[in-house]
Structure 1
Amino acid sequence: MKLYSLFLLMATATVFSPGPGVVMTLTNALRYGMRGTFGGILGIAFGALVVAAVSATSLGVLLAASALAFTILKFIGAGYLVYLGIRLWRSPAFQLAEQSAHEASLGKRFLEGLSLQLTNPKAIFFFLSVFPQFIDPGKSYSLQFATLVFTYSALVVVIHCLYALFAKRAKAWLTSKRGGRTVNRAAGTTFALFGAALATARQ
């Protein structure tokens, strides 16, 4: 497996960045406490497995056999990361929306997290254009695929649990204009740098 450390950093930044999944975890933590977030977090993590299986399996095989396809998709992925970074930098301060609380079972929260991840363009594009480029065509594809996918899903669980754990302490800062802008600009800069790194990666 090649550039695993770079994949780990990019996947961490992707999961950490503000988005629907983060908002769901934070709001569930503030409504129901730490235990009330587990269903949604597991749903998001399982959704990542599903998206990866659908998006990256056949595409990864194609990229392993085609240098031209690798090059084209590499620059598409790099361009997308830079675009995402610029958009995050320029977007309004990230804030938690006030939503009415509702009781929900573990299963219902799992389904909410799953459906959210299955329709999340950030996750879909990550697995389509970025993920396959970390596969070494000279080694076992299935082993590398499983390692990368489970790494991503494990990061979802760990990072979202950290978000939930510190939700109450971070609420005032996250909902402030200054805090929200800092989150967006830090994430935006990170994505732009990773886009540049991806553009220079070799097959």
Structure 2
Amino acid sequence: MPSLDTLLPFLGIAILLGLAPGPDNIFVLLQSAMHGTRAGLTVVLGLCTGLLVHTAVVAVGLAALLAASVVAFTVLKIAGALYLIYLAWQAFRAPVGELPKAGEGVKPGKHMYWRGVVMNLTNPKVVIFFLAFLPQFVTPERGHVALQLMVLGFVFILATLLVFGAIAWFSGVFGRILMRSARVQRAVNWFAGTVFLALAGRLALSQR
């Protein structure tokens, strides 16, 4: 098990990383603004499930193989880019109209959860980041390296839940206020679609 002296700085760094602008927290912000806080929180749970998978992959050593495989990296990034293009298409064609009353909003549903899972798992940069980041906080002398990696991964997921949960809440609340206007709804939909396309392009052109 990592020591408390290791876990506390790691938690602080993980929180700062969660606050830094990136595809995942931008995704949470946009989904929450468009569909409400509950939907945004459901997406966050999906993203954290993806992080759990990445943690397990790093702990068992598969991440090194993925990082070394050009084919695996390319397949993942193309799949991720195509998924983002699909989300952009959905955003561009999203209906505009009167918002339902509080408590009658869009049900989060499994599809919002799986959006988060797919968004996270199809980004090869995440598993490579975990491969480079987590081992820096491992102390081999304490033994059970795989267990230490799993614990660090869980702490990172906790930080992600806190930060992304806050983003989902604030974005959902203020998004609902702004989107009472049909014009703002249309602008947000087009902005979201444009951002998703930009993220797709960035992912498709990314290098290991």
Name which of 176, 183, 187 aligns with 2:188. Answer: 183
Whether contact under 8 Å (1:17, 1:187) holds in the other structure is: yes
Q: 1:126 — aligned with what?
A: 119
> How far off its partner does 1:195 sit?
0.6
> How far off its partner does 1:151 sit?
5.7
CA distance in 1, matches of 2:172, 2:130: 38
Residues 19/197 of structure 1: CA separation in 2 closer, same or farther (3 Å cut): same
Where in structure 1 do 4 or more consecutive aligned residues deviate above 6 Å? none
Residues 164/82 of structure 1: CA separation in 2 closer, same or farther (3 Å cut): closer
How many correspondences in the alignment? 169
CA distance in 2, matches of 1:16, 1:94: 21
Alignment RMSD: 4.0
> How far off its partner does 1:201 sit?
0.6
Letter in 1 for 2:132: K
Q: 2:199 — aligned with what?
A: 194
Q: 2:165 — aligned with what?
A: 157
SS at match of 1:8: coil
> How far off its partner does 1:165 sit?
5.4
Superposition TM-score, scaled by structure 2 size: 0.61
Q: 2:57 — aligned with what?
A: 58
Residues 119/83 of structure 1: CA separation in 2 closer, same or farther (3 Å cut): closer
Q: Which moved more, 1:176-185 or 1:48-57?
A: 48-57
CA distance in 2, matches of 1:21, 1:185: 11
Q: Structure 1, residues 15-63: CA drift from partner, whole Å, max 9, x if none?
A: 012359952449xxxxxxxxxxxxx95x775564334314664387252
Q: Structure 1, residues 153-202: CA drift from partner, whole Å, max 9, x if none?
A: 343222123236546xx53x313321211111111100100110111111
Q: 1:35 — aligned with what?
A: none
